[in-house]
Each structure stands twice: as C-alpha cells, then as structure tokens.
Structure 1
Amino acid sequence: MASFGWKRKVGERVSKSVVQQFEAEAEKADENPAEEETDWLHAIKRRREILLEDCDAKSKRLKEEGAVLAEQGRHWEAIKKWDEAIQLTPDNPLLYEMKSQVLTILQEVFPAVKAAEMAVKLRPLWWEGWQTLGRAQLNLGEVDLALRSFQVAIHLCPSESTLWQEDLAWALKLQKQYVATKEKIRQEEETKEQILNAPELDQDYDFESDEVLAACVAVAKRQTHYEELKRTAVVIDSEGNIKNVVCGEEETEEAMPPSKEEFIKARGF
C-alpha cells in the first residue's frame, strides 16, 4: 500500500534549499517546544495588562464626565455614565458613592442605599462612603441605621466637623422626633380605645341623676382630647426642642437634609 503524501500540481517544482530550510525550522521547533509556549503566555499576559489599562483609563474618563453632568443637574445622564464605568471597573467604590449621592437627590431612596452599601463594602475605612450611606438611610427613613453610619464615619474621621454639626446632629433630632411621634400615636390609640369602651357606659344609671351627666362629661372630654391629638403634629424647633403644633394654626417646615451642600464630585480617598 502506498504511503500517504501531498500531491504536487503538474509542473510544480520545489527548491531543494527551501525544503532544507523548512526541515531545519521544524527540527528547531521540536527541540524547544517550551520556548514557543512561554512566548504565547507572555503575549497573552501583556495583552491582558493593556486591556486593563484601557479599562481604567476609560472608566476614569466616564467618571469625570458623570461628575460634570451631575454638577449641571443632568442627574440621569450622570448615572448612565457611572453605570458604564462600573461595567469596566466594578471594584471602584468611588463610582458607587457618587451614584448614591445623585440617586438620593432624585429621591430614588432604595437604590441610593444599595449603591452606598456597595461603596462601603468595597472600602470599609472610607469615611465619606459612610457619610453618604447615612444620608441615604435618612432619606429612606432608617434613622437608627443612619445614626450608626454617621458614628462609623466619625470614628474614622473625628476631625470632620460636618459629621458632628450637621449629619449626626440632624439624625439625633429626627430620632427624637420619631420617639415623640410614636408616643403621640400611642396616646391617640389609647384615647380612642377609651372612647369606644368608656367605663362609664358599662354602669346602670338613673337618667335623672347627676351621675349620668358626669359620665357624659367624661366621655365628651375624652372625645375632645382625641380630636386635639388628631389635629396636632410633632415638630422640632431650631434649638432641637419637641413641640406639638396644631395643624392649621402654625406653619411647619418640612424636614430638610442636614446640609445644603451638594458634594457630587470626584471625591478622593
């Protein structure tokens, strides 16, 4: 049986020197197979380094573009830029922190908290990340969690005055207001229960006696007290004192953030 071989076209000639050169290169490759493999691994590693450098550079550019858009009030466009940057560098806590700031401004409360949580998870010793998380938690209504976040931030950077004078102080006021409001609701429910199940109405009275009049007066007083509780709101004055204000008699200011500063920028570590 004839051995297998390549068929040359009719009239085609192969130079003897070309054949010898081909055989020599084949023998060299057989003698040093590891060398060629090492070159491939080095090339792949170098290519990966170049790609990572490109991703970092593009992510930095997108981050800065998002910061400019946020300062111009184009918040959703800024978030889009940062999302693109996160796809390139998902371990950059700065991107999540800046995104949380903008989401808080947009009243996207839950996504803002999630973004800030990711920032502190990636860099747990970054006080600005904890400050942003605390503000997002306040916006969500989680006052106790916000207090803890501000306390962590203060522990990491006790010299930062805004943490003491604005963030922590504001959170403590809101906590105080929350406790007072909870107590007001308890009193309101208790008074309502006393009206519905007045003990005076369980007794048998002589309709011509003074006891009937006294019972009616007692029930009327509870009803009046209940109506007053329903019309009052718990507010905090500028000095941090709790006040019960009757709705309609005095204007109440809405709760505002502790600082008017919109610190959306490429904040550093």
Structure 2
Amino acid sequence: MASFGWKRKAGERVSKSVVQQFEAEAEKAEEVDEQTQDEKVDWLHAIKRRREVLLEDCGAKSKRLKDEGALLAEQGRHWEAIKKWDEAIHLTPDDPLLYEMKSQVLTILQEVFPAVRAAETAVKFRPLWWEGWQTLGRAQLNLGEVDLAVRSFQVAIHLCPSECKLWQEDLAWAWRIQKQHLATKEKIRQEEETKKQILNAPELEQDYDFESDEVLDACVAVAERQTHYEKLKQTAVVIDSEGNIQNVVSGEQGSDNTETPLKEQFVKIRGL
C-alpha cells in the first residue's frame, strides 16, 4: 500500500515533532491493515481446508459403508446391506455404484419398482457404464417391462460388445420372453375374436325353416367356432430351448369335448 504523503502548505508552520508523530501513526495504521488482510487470507484458507477435510471424511466413510454393505449382501443379509448403502448414499449421493448394488439386492428381494428406480439413477450418473444398463435391464425384466429391458440390454452391448453374457444370456433371455409375450397377445386376440363370433354368429340372426338343412349348417358352423374357442382356452404359449413357439395343452380334455359335432349327429338328434 502506498504511504500517505504529507504536503506542507505554504505559509503554515508545523513542528518537526508533530510531523514525526503523524508519520509514525500512519505507519502503525498501515501495519495493522496489512495484518488484518493476512488474517483474512488465513481465515479463508482455513475454511477451504476444512471443507476438503470434510469431503475426504465423507468419501472415506462412504467407501467403508459400501464395503460393509457388500459383505452383508454376500451373506444374504440384504436389508442390512441396503441400510448401509443408504447411509453411504447420504454421504456421497452421486456414486453410481451404490445405486447399482442396491438395485441388484432389491431385485433379489422382489422390490421391483425401487429396483428399477435405483438402476435408473445409476445410469443417470454414469450413462456409459455397461454394467449399470445390464442391472437396469434385469430390473425392468423382473418388473415385466420386456421391451424396455431389451433396449437396456442393447445399450449395454453397444457399450461393451465383448461381454458375451450380454448376448448369450441377458438379451437372448429377454428376446425369448418378448417373443412369448407377443404370441400370448395374439392368442388372447384370437380368443376374443372367436368369442365375438360365437356371441354374434351371423347364422343366429337369420330366420330358418327348422325342418330345412340350413339349420343344420348353422348349428355345425356355431359348433366349430365353439370348439375352436375351447381349444384356445385350454392351450398355453411356451417357448422351447431353441426359441420356437409351441401351443401346449394346459389341462386334460376329453375327445368328446374337443371334437366338432358332425352334421350327421345333428340330423340324428333332430330325428329323435
């Protein structure tokens, strides 16, 4: 800091002792000002250093809690592990590994919605982490969101195509389930369409001469639809190990219940 310059006015008499005393006081004030600035700098530095120490302590404690949670999870003590990871998340809320491990354990516990949310948070903080996308896909599959799971597995494969398990296990598994879901939807659609045809059969909307053969033809047509509907209800869609769709009978059924009555049978019944 520039020192105060004393300029003597013309015609004014100032004693030498007064001048010296004034300059001494000015120098003293300057020293006090510099000392205050030094103390201010030290105070800011202390705050910054304290903050760094706190961050280091949080990181170290979070790592300890994360490791303790992993050990508990290996021992099957899943809820205790989640509690440890929640404490760690409170200290380091942007650590994607904590959310990913938590999602795995929640999936095991069948806590499907929290598992998906935790995995989504993991990939949000680390979008290029293929293991996070793999965990998200498994959680989505457990929730029944097959299409979303397929996409998550595809993202994981894009990020790490050398990981064979993603191709051979996760994505292949999701594809099989997706294929089965589509086949099941088609079966349900056929059931509903066949049921509509039975309830709103065009043959039942006509006036017939009950002694004519047209009545017999109408009965056979309705019976065929009913038989087809009963067969659809008694079958289930499954996917074999090779990925082929098969319709498997889900219950016992007798031949009398599945065979469509012939026209001759209706003729015989009418004649009784």
1:163 alignment counterpart: 166
2:102 partner amino acid: K
Q: Counterparts of 1:8-23 in structure 2 under 5 Å?
A: none
2:72 to 66, 69, 72: 69
1:238 alignment counterpart: 241
> SS state of the match for residue 234, structure 1?
strand
- State the alpha-carbon separation in 2 of the partners of residues 66 and 176 from structure 1: 37
Answering whether residue 180 of structure 2 is matched by residue 177 of structure 1, we say yes
1:245 partner amino acid: V
Q: Counterparts of 1:240-255 in structure 2 under 5 Å?
A: 240-248=243-251
1:106 partner amino acid: L
1:162 partner amino acid: K
2:215 to 212, 220, 225: 212
CA shift at 1:28, angstroms? 4.4
2:43 to 40, 44, 60: 40
- State the alpha-carbon separation in 2 of the partners of residues 26 and 233 from structure 1: 95
Q: Counterparts of 1:1-269 in structure 2 under 5 Å?
A: 28-248=31-251
- State the alpha-carbon separation in 1 of the partners of residues 144 and 166 from structure 2: 19
The answer to which structure, 1 or 2, has the higher relative contact order (CA under 8 A, 6+ apart) is: 1
Moved over 4 A (4+): 24-28
> SS state of the match for residue 81, structure 2?
helix
1:12 alignment counterpart: none
Structure 2 gap ranges (5+): 1-26, 253-272
- State the alpha-carbon separation in 2 of the partners of residues 191 and 106 from structure 1: 41
> SS state of the match for residue 62, structure 2?
helix
Structure 1 gap ranges (5+): 1-23, 250-269
**Could you list the per-position Cα deviations for residues 62-116 of structure 1 after superposition, in whole angstroms to 9, with x for gaps in the alignment?**
1111111111111111111100000000010000000000111111111111100
> SS state of the match for residue 32, structure 1?
helix
- State the alpha-carbon separation in 1 of the partners of residues 29 and 72 from structure 2: 60
Normalising by structure 2, we get a TM-score of 0.80
Alpha carbons of structure 1 residues 25 and 211: separation in structure 2 relative to 1, 3 Å: farther
CA shift at 1:245, angstroms? 1.1
- State the alpha-carbon separation in 2 of the partners of residues 129 and 248 from structure 1: 42
CA shift at 1:30, angstroms? 3.5
2:227 partner amino acid: T
**Could you list the per-position Cα deviations for residues 139-173 of structure 1 after superposition, in whole angstroms to 9, with x for gaps in the alignment?**
11111111111111111111101000000101111
- State the alpha-carbon separation in 2 of the partners of residues 41 and 194 from structure 1: 83
**Larger helix percent:** 2
| RMSD over equivalenced CA pairs, Å | 1.6
Normalising by structure 1, we get a TM-score of 0.81
- State the alpha-carbon separation in 2 of the partners of residues 26 and 188 from structure 1: 97
- State the alpha-carbon separation in 2 of the partners of residues 74 and 228 from structure 1: 47
**Could you list the per-position Cα deviations for residues 28-85 of structure 1 after superposition, in whole angstroms to 9, with x for gaps in the alignment?**
4434322111111110111111111111111111111111111111111111110000
CA shift at 1:174, angstroms? 1.0
CA shift at 1:248, angstroms? 2.9
- State the alpha-carbon separation in 2 of the partners of residues 198 and 125 from structure 1: 57
